Amino acid sequence: MNFRKKLEKNIKKNNSLLSIGLDPDVEKIPEHLKKYKDPIFNFNKQIVDATYDLVCAYKPQIAHYAAKGIRGIGSLLKTINYLAYTYPQIPIILDAKRADIESTSRLYAKEAFDVFNADALTVNPYFGLDSLKPFLERKDKGVIILCKTSNKSAGDFQDLKISSDKIPLYLHVAEKVQEWNKKYKNCMLVVGATWPEELKKIREIAPNMFFLVPGIGSQGGDIKQTLKNGLRKDKSGLIIHASRSIIYASDKANFAITARKEALKLKENINKYR
Amino acid sequence: MNFRKKLEKNIKKNNSLLSIGLDPDVEKIPEHLKKYKDPIFNFNKQIVDATYDLVCAYKPQIAHYAAKGIRGIGSLLKTINYLAYTYPQIPIILDAKRADIESTSRLYAKEAFDVFNADALTVNPYFGLDSLKPFLERKDKGVIILCKTSNKSAGDFQDLKISSDKIPLYLHVAEKVQEWNKKYKNCMLVVGATWPEELKKIREIAPNMFFLVPGIGSQGGDIKQTLKNGLRKDKSGLIIHASRSIIYASDKANFAITARKEALKLKENINKYR
C-alpha cells in the first residue's frame, strides 16, 4: 500500500492526527532500561506498545541513532522491523532531511526506503528538483519537503522575499512542490507549528496536501491555531508531531504509561479543534 | 591541529588543491576485489595508498556507504580509521549535507565529528543560523556550507533574486556565511565548478574563505575558468574535488595505478593555472 493510503487509513482507524517521535536519548531514558542489551530499542518498543492505537504515524529522527554509531543504527533497524511486523498498519516516517546531487540522492533513497524500509522520508529542497527526483520517483513512498521549519532562525533564508513575485522563499518552495506534486502525487511539506500565520498561507497554496507539523510541545507551538490554520476542508491533512513532551514525560519505570497518558491528552486536544 | 591549518599544511606539502572522493560503488569496483571480506574498504585503501601524496584532502560521501546499511557504515569507519592512522596529515571531509533544528544538529555533529572523527563536514543552510551553530561551535572542525551546488537544478531556489538587495539567494548565503565566519572562523562554502561566473561573484564576497568545488570531471566543470575565477590572491583557497573520473578510471586489476595517473594529471592541470 502506498504511503498516502496507509496514512489516511490509519488516521481514520485511530481517529488521530498525532505522530510520535522515536528520538531516544540514552541520557534521558529510564535508568532501569540500561540493563537490557539494547536499551534504545527497548525504550522504543515500550513507547510503541503503549501508544500504537493513538497515533497516525511514528517518526524516528535518524541523528538520534547515528550519533551512537553502528550500535545506534542497529537499534533503529530493530525498531523499524519491530514496528513493521507488529503494527504493519502504522506508517513510518524516517526523519533525515536528506538531499544531494541526483546520483547521490539515489543512494539516500536506497538508505531510507530499502535499508530502513521507511514509508516516507523528510528531504531538503535547497538543491532543487533534480536532487529530489530519486525520492519522488519512488511513487509508493512519501516525500516530505522542508518548507517553513520550526526553529527560531528559520527565517534567515526561508523568509527572504523573492523579487519576481514578492513572496518569501518558503512560499515559493510551497508553490514549486504543489506543482511537482501534480506529476508525482507523493509530496508533503514540513511546516512548523511555531509559525501559524505562515501555515495559513501555505495551506492556501496547497489545499489538498498533507503537512508534517513539528513544533507542538517542547518548542511551544499552539494546537488551536495550528488546527485552525492548517486543516484541510476534510478536517484532515495534518500530521501533528510531538516527541520530547511525550516520550520523556516521565523517567520512572512506568514511563510508557505516562507517555500513553500524554499522547491520549494531546490526541484528544487535537481532535477538539478538528 | 584544526582543520584549516591541517588543510593549508597539506596543500603546501603535496603542492595540490585536489581532493579525491572516496565514493565506492560495488557495481563499479574491480571484480577481483570482491574476494575480500570488505571489498569497499579494500578499494578505498588501494586508492588512498596510490594517491596520498597527490591530494590536499579526501572526501568520502556518506550515502555511498549508508545505502549498504550497517556493513557500509562499517566500511566507512574502517576507511577513516585507516586514513587517520596511516596518513594523519591528510584532512578528511565527510560529505553528508546535514542540518536540522539545533538540538538535532548537535547529534549530527556527534555523528560526523565523534563517531566518524571527520575533520570537516558539509552542511545545508536552509534552516538558518541556529541549526548550524552546533557545527560552527566545534572550532577545531571545518564547516562547509552549501552555497551554489553543482547540479543542473541548483537554480530552482538558489538563483531566486531576493527583493531587499536584488541578489540571488546563493549570494545572500555567501554574505551570511562571510559574516558568521568573523565569529566562528571555521566556515567554508560549496560552489560547483559548473558555475564559473557565480564562483567569481562568491569570491568577491568571501575573498579569504576556502571553497569546496565539486563538478570538475564527470559533471563537466572547466578547470581553467574555475581557477581563474575562484583562486584567492595567495593562489590557494580552493579544494577542487573529483571522484568518479579518478576512482573509476579503470576497472582492471591495476585500477589504483590508473587512478594515480588520472589524479597526477588533474593535479598538474590545476597547478598549471595557479
Q: Does residue B97 carry a catalytic annotation? A: yes
pLDDT for the residue numbered B217: 76
Is the CB of residue A257 less than 8 Å from the CB of residue A51?
no
Is the CB of residue B148 less than 8 Å from the CB of residue B154?
yes
- Looking at the partner chain, which of A73, A131, A160 has a beta carbon nearest the beta carbon of B153? A131
pTM of the model: 0.97
Within a 13 Å sphere around the CA of A221, how many CA atoms are in the beta-carbon half?
Answer: 32
- Which strand ranges, in their side-by-side order, compose the sheet holding A57-60? A57-60, A18-22, A238-242, A210-213, A187-191, A142-148, A120-123, A93-98
Tell me: pLDDT of A218 over 80. no
ipTM (interface predicted TM): 0.97
DSSP element (H, E) containing A120: strand A120-123
Q: What are the structural domain ranges in chain B?
A: 3-272
Q: Average the pLDDT over B2-12 and give the result.
A: 98
DSSP E strands in chain B: the ranges are 18-22, 57-60, 93-98, 120-123, 142-148, 187-191, 210-213, 238-242
Closest CA of chain A from B87, distance in Å: 23
Tens of pLDDT, residues A95-150: 999 999 999 999 999 999 999 999 999 999 999 999 999 999 999 999 999 999 99
Interface probe, candidates B103, B113, B126, chain A, greatest A C-beta count within 10 A: B126
Q: Do A154 and B127 touch (CB under 8 A)?
A: yes
Instruction: Count the Cβ atoms, other than its own, within 10 Å of residue B167.
Output: 15
Size of interface A-B (CB pairs under 8 A): 172
Q: Do A124 and B124 touch (CB under 8 A)?
A: yes
- Looking at the partner chain, which of B73, B150, B219 has a beta carbon nearest the beta carbon of A70? B73
Position A217 confidence tier, pLDDT thresholds 50, 70, 90: confident
CATH of A3-272, one of 3.40.50.720, 3.40.50.2000, 1.10.1040.50, 3.20.20.70: 3.20.20.70
Residue in the structure block whose three cell numbers are 524500509: A117
Residues of A serving a catalytic function are 97
**What mean pLDDT value characterizes chain A?**
96
Report how far apart, in Å, the C-alpha atoms of A131 and of each of A93, A181, A183, B60, B112 are: 20, 15, 16, 19, 22
Q: How many residues does this entry show for chain B? A: 274
Q: Do A63 and B111 touch (CB under 8 A)?
A: yes
pLDDT for the residue numbered B38: 96
Closest CA of chain A from B32, distance in Å: 24
Q: Do A126 and B127 touch (CB under 8 A)?
A: no
| Phi, psi torsion values for A221, nearest 5 degrees | -65, 150
Cell of B117: 572523527
What is the spatial distance between Cα B12 and Cα A231, in angstroms, rounded to a whole number?
A: 59
Tell me: pLDDT of A266 over 90. yes
Is the CB of residue B131 less than 8 Å from the CB of residue B176?
no
